[in-house]
């Protein structure tokens, strides 16, 4: 029904349009008719007024002519000499004059004093009333005036009597009835209306209708404008058109009066023509409007129907494009629009299908992702959605987390900074740290939060990705550690290289001295003319022995250091008799000890230790003590078992070691800063001691002060040592080779 109502809309509009147009046309027609009639009437009135005015002026000129003729006649009479004599002859003359003219009714002669002197026809002059005395230089010529005082209005003409000419001695006055003068004029004018002679005060003096004269009817002259004396007035017989023309010879006006009824009656037939045409035109317009409306309406119906079908979602709606002008354009436009709409709709549907497909794919992808927790957060940063990855990574279901914050999953002892504020500020926020699963296991999570914004830029929520990177982090750390180790190894290699150069320099220097002595000795022993005496020969032999021993010790220690550095030293503990082993070491150190006494104090029986290690450690310490002791000073060696440790001390009576050198003396190629230049060696002995001791997890310390000798204490673990990890405990030892 709604559709129907919508369809009837345009039709009703067109119908209403036709109706309104018709009514407006009719009203316009009627109004036009009225206006036209009014215009016509005004025109006819104007025309009638002109005609009346012309008629009045024409009549006035005729009347003026008549009056003028009478005045001329009177002036002619006045020149008669007999009159100027004012005698009897004057009366006779008047009688003659009266007979000559039949238009004048009465002649009276007055002398200069205004006394009537003579009259014709023959009444006693006394009957006439005296005039005012005549001024000798009154106005020239004859004049006429109306006398309306009596029963019938009369025309009074006066002419001066001059004797001699130019000097007025009397006045000749003539009287005439108005009617004969005017009738001729007024009567023929009856077709165009009434013609009347009117006194200045409006009194009708002469008229075709004598009754008005008798009644003393006053024409409404006051209503006439002075410029064009024509006006509509309320005449004696109803509304009338009045026109007036003044006379020049007489103080009076000719009036023409035409009744409006007469005017309308005469113009009625003429007016019906234009009005009828107008009416016909209006009717034609109305009919044309109706016809056009119907022509418009007819094709609009299918168009409206098409709109309704299109609105209802129907496809392929097309309307007939036949029709006129804009309606056909409209139909074509409708068809184009319908086609465009269908195209657009198809595109939209395709896009929508694509979007749905993408959305579904994305949903499946997000849901299927297990490696990452992909989570949507609401505008407050609380969890809204939960995918399979989220469940797998965190070990928690959606019901646990929706409405909470992801950072709630962080390990309690290591809270994670919520990245949501950073995401709000910068669009993206990141955080990482330990997350805890319900089973208590931890994972190192990388949390990335990206702000989702509406078109207007406001944050509508966040997308969060949480990834378990524990392994990656471990791998990274391992890599970093490996790198660090590499760097350390490289640094060690560089250091080792420096040491090697130093080692070679030291070795060369150290070996050169005994070598030079041996070479010199060999030179001395060369055959020649001069034989050595036995004492000299023994001396040379001793020098060779001594320096060869030095070289041997140097080579031994260099080999020791090299083996320690290369990690090739094998530790093979076995049970040994401690006292015998140490006594053997002291005996082997005879060369280093020279003639010094060694006090050996051993408080232990059999111990399990690597004998070679023990020999190296004790031998080096004894050699070191002897080297830095005065020739007559003794060296004291003690050994005892303390718990799991074998404690060995070597004490000398040398110059002692400053505290700041206690560590330095164990470094490779380093010696106490107080060491006499002549006593300097390679700085290998104590280094070798420490390396050996540390190889089995023991330690070596020194107690000494300047001037008080020194005591070196070595503590070695006893019993079968654990599996040896030789290189790592060396500290400085390189693992390569």
Partner 1 sequence: VSATTILVADDQADLRRIVRILLTRGTSWEVVEAVDGDDAVAVAAQHDIDAAVLDQRMPGRNGIDVADVLRGRGFGGPIVIFSAYLEPEILAEAERLGVRSVPKGEIALLTEVLRAALFPDET
Residue ranges binding partner 1 (CB under 8 A): 512-513, 516-517, 519-521, 523-524, 526, 528-530, 532, 536, 539-540, 543, 546-547, 677-678
Q: How far is the CB of 634 from partner 1 (least distance, A)?
A: 23
Q: How far is the CB of 736 from partner 1 (least distance, A)?
A: 33
Residue 325 or 528: the one with the smaller Cβ distance to partner 1 is: 528
Burial of 5 (0-12, 13-18, 19+ CB in 10 A): exposed
Q: How far is the CB of 666 from partner 1 (least distance, A)?
A: 25
Phi, psi of 530 (to 5 degrees): -110, 115
Q: How far is the CB of 524 from partner 1 (least distance, A)?
A: 5
Q: How far is the CB of 520 from partner 1 (least distance, A)?
A: 4
Q: How far is the CB of 513 from partner 1 (least distance, A)?
A: 6
Contact present, 255 and 243 (Cβ < 8 Å) = yes
Separation between Cα atoms, residue 649 and residue 266, nearest integer Å: 170
What CA dihedral angle connects 96, 98, 99 and 102, to 10 degrees?
A: 160
Pick from 621, 596, 627, 735: nearest CA to 688: 621
Pick from 110, 561, 46: nearest CA to 260: 46
Residue 370 or 676: the one with the smaller Cβ distance to partner 1 is: 676
Q: How far is the CB of 549 from partner 1 (least distance, A)?
A: 12
Q: How far is the CB of 683 from partner 1 (least distance, A)?
A: 17
Buried b (16+ CB within 10 A) or exposed e, 70-109: bbebbbebbebebbbebeeebbebbbebbeebeebbbbbb
Separation between Cα atoms, residue 221 and residue 167, nearest integer Å: 40
Residue 197 or 518: the one with the smaller Cβ distance to partner 1 is: 518
Residue 1 or 526: the one with the smaller Cβ distance to partner 1 is: 526
Q: How far is the CB of 532 from partner 1 (least distance, A)?
A: 7
Pick from 271, 228, 276: nearest CA to 38: 271
Provide the 10 A C-beta neighbour count for residue 575: 11
Q: How far is the CB of 595 from partner 1 (least distance, A)?
A: 16
Phi, psi of 176 (to 5 degrees): -145, 145
The alpha carbon of 732 is separated from its chain's Cα centroid by a whole number of angstroms, namely 71
Contact present, 255 and 248 (Cβ < 8 Å) = no
Q: How far is the CB of 660 from partner 1 (least distance, A)?
A: 23
Q: Strand pairing partners for 158? A: 143, 173
Separation between Cα atoms, residue 715 and residue 575, nearest integer Å: 17
Q: How far is the CB of 517 from partner 1 (least distance, A)?
A: 5
Phi, psi of 161 (to 5 degrees): -100, 125
| Rounded (5°) CA angle 681-684-690 | 140
The helix (H) or strand (E) run that includes residue 207 is strand 204-207
Separation between Cα atoms, residue 58 and residue 375, nearest integer Å: 117
Task: Reduce the DSSP state of residue 194 to 3 states and report it.
Answer: strand
Residue 548 or 658: the one with the smaller Cβ distance to partner 1 is: 548
Task: Reduce the DSSP state of residue 211 to 3 states and report it.
Answer: helix
Please report the DSSP string for 360-414 in residue order: HHHHHHHHH--SEEEEEE-TTS-B----HHHHHHHS--HHHHTTS-GGGGB-TTS
Separation between Cα atoms, residue 49 and residue 41, nearest integer Å: 12
Q: How far is the CB of 542 from partner 1 (least distance, A)?
A: 9
Q: How far is the CB of 503 from partner 1 (least distance, A)?
A: 19
Residue 463 or 515: the one with the smaller Cβ distance to partner 1 is: 515
Residue 455 or 530: the one with the smaller Cβ distance to partner 1 is: 530
Q: Strand pairing partners for 206? A: 197
Measured CA distances, 604 to 600, 616, 621, 639 (Å): 12, 19, 19, 7
Order of strands, sheet of 710-717, starting from the edge strand that comes earlier in the sequence: 598-603, 635-642, 645-652, 710-717, 699-704
Residue 183 or 539: the one with the smaller Cβ distance to partner 1 is: 539
Residues shown for the chain: 737
Residue 21 or 549: the one with the smaller Cβ distance to partner 1 is: 549
Q: How far is the CB of 681 from partner 1 (least distance, A)?
A: 14
Task: Reduce the DSSP state of residue 132 to 3 states and report it.
Answer: coil
Residue 134 or 506: the one with the smaller Cβ distance to partner 1 is: 506
What's the maximum distance between 2 C-alpha atoms anywhere in the chain? 239
Cβ-proximal residues to 482 (8 Å cutoff; 6+ apart), any chain: none
Q: How far is the CB of 500 from partner 1 (least distance, A)?
A: 21
Residue 439 or 533: the one with the smaller Cβ distance to partner 1 is: 533
Residue 195 or 518: the one with the smaller Cβ distance to partner 1 is: 518
């Amino acid at each position: 029904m709604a559709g129907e109502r919508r369809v009837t809309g345009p039709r009703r509009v067109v119908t209403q349009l036709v109706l309104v147009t018709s009514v407006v046309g009719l009203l316009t027609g009627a109004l036009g008719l009225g206006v036209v009639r009014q215009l016509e009437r005004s025109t006819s009135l104007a025309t009638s007024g002109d005609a009346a005015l012309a008629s009045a002026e024409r009549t006035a000129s005729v009347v003026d002519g008549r009056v003028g003729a009478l005045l001329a006649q009177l002036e002619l009479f006045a020149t008669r000499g007999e009159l100027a004599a004012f005698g009897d002859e004057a009366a006779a003359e008047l009688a003659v004059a009266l007979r000559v003219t039949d238009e004048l009714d009465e002649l009276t002669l007055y002398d200069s004093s205004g006394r009537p002197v003579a009259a014709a026809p023959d009444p006693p002059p006394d009957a006439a009333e005296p005039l005012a005395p005549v001024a000798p230089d009154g106005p020239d010529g004859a004049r006429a005036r109306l006398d309306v005082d009596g029963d019938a209005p009369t025309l009074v003409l006066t002419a001066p009597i001059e004797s001699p000419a130019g000097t007025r001695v009397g006045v000749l006055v003539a009287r005439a009835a108005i009617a004969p003068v005017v009738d001729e004029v007024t009567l023929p004018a009856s077709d165009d209306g009434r013609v009347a002679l009117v006194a200045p005060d409006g009194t009708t003096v002469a008229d075709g209708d004598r009754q008005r004269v008798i009644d003393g009817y006053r024409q409404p002259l006051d209503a006439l404008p002075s410029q064009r004396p024509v006006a509509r007035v309320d005449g004696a017989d109803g509304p009338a058109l009045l026109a007036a023309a003044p006379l020049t010879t007489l103080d009076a006006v000719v009036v023409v009066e035409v009744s409006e009824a007469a005017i309308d009656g005469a113009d009625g037939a003429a007016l019906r023509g234009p009005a009828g045409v107008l009416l016909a035109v209006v009717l034609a317009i109305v009919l044309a409007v109706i016809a056009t409306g119907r022509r418009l309406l007819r094709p609009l119906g299918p168009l409206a129907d098409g709109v309704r079908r299109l609105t209802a979602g129907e496809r392929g709606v097309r309307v007939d494009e036949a029709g006129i002008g804009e309606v056909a354009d409209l139909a074509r436009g409708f068809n184009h629009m319908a086609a465009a709409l269908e195209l657009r709709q198809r595109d939209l549907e395709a896009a929508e299908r694509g979007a749905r497909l993408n959305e579904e794919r994305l949903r499946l992808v997000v849901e299927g992702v297990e490696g990452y927790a992909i989570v949507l957060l609401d505008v407050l940063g609380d969890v809204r959605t939960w995918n399979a990855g989220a469940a797998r990574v965190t070990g928690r279901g959606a019901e646990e987390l929706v409405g909470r914050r992801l950072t709630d999953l962080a390990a309690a002892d290591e809270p994670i900074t919520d990245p949501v504020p950073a995401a709000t500020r910068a669009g993206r926020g990141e955080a990482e740290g330990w997350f805890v699963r319900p089973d208590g296991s931890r994972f190192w999570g990388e949390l990335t939060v990206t702000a989702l914004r509406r078109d207007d830029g406001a944050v509508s929520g966040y997308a969060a990705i949480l990834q378990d990177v524990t392994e990656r982090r471990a791998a990274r750390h391992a890599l970093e550690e490996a790198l660090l180790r590499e760097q350390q190894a490289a640094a060690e290699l560089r250091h080792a290289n420096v040491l090697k150069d130093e080692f070679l320099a030291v070795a060369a220097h150290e070996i050169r001295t005994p070598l030079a002595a041996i070479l010199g000795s060999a030179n001395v022993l060369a055959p020649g003319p001069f034989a050595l005496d036995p004492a000299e020969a023994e001396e040379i032999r001793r020098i060779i022995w001594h320096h060869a021993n030095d070289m041997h010790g140097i080579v031994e220690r260099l080999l020791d250091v090299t083996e320690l550095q290369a990690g090739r030293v094998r530790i093979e503990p076995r049970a040994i008799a401690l006292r015998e082993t140490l006594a053997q070491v002291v005996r082997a150190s005879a060369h280093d000890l020279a003639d010094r006494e060694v006090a050996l104090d051993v408080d232990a029986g059999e111990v399990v230790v690597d004998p070679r290690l023990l020999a190296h450690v004790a031998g080096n310490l004894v050699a070191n003590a002897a080297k830095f002791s005065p020739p007559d000073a003794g060296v004291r060696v003690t050994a005892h078992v303390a718990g799991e440790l074998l404690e060995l001390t070597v004490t000398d009576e040398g110059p002692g070691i400053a505290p700041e050198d206690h560590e330095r003396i164990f470094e490779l190629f380093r010696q106490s800063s107080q060491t006499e230049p002549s006593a300097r060696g390679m700085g290998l002995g104590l280094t070798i001691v420490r390396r050996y001791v540390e190889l089995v997890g023991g330690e070596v310390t020194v107690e000494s002060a300047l001037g008080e000798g020194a005591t070196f204490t070595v503590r070695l673990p006893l019993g079968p040592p654990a599996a040896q990890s030789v290189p790592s405990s060396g500290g400085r030892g390189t693992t390569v080779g």
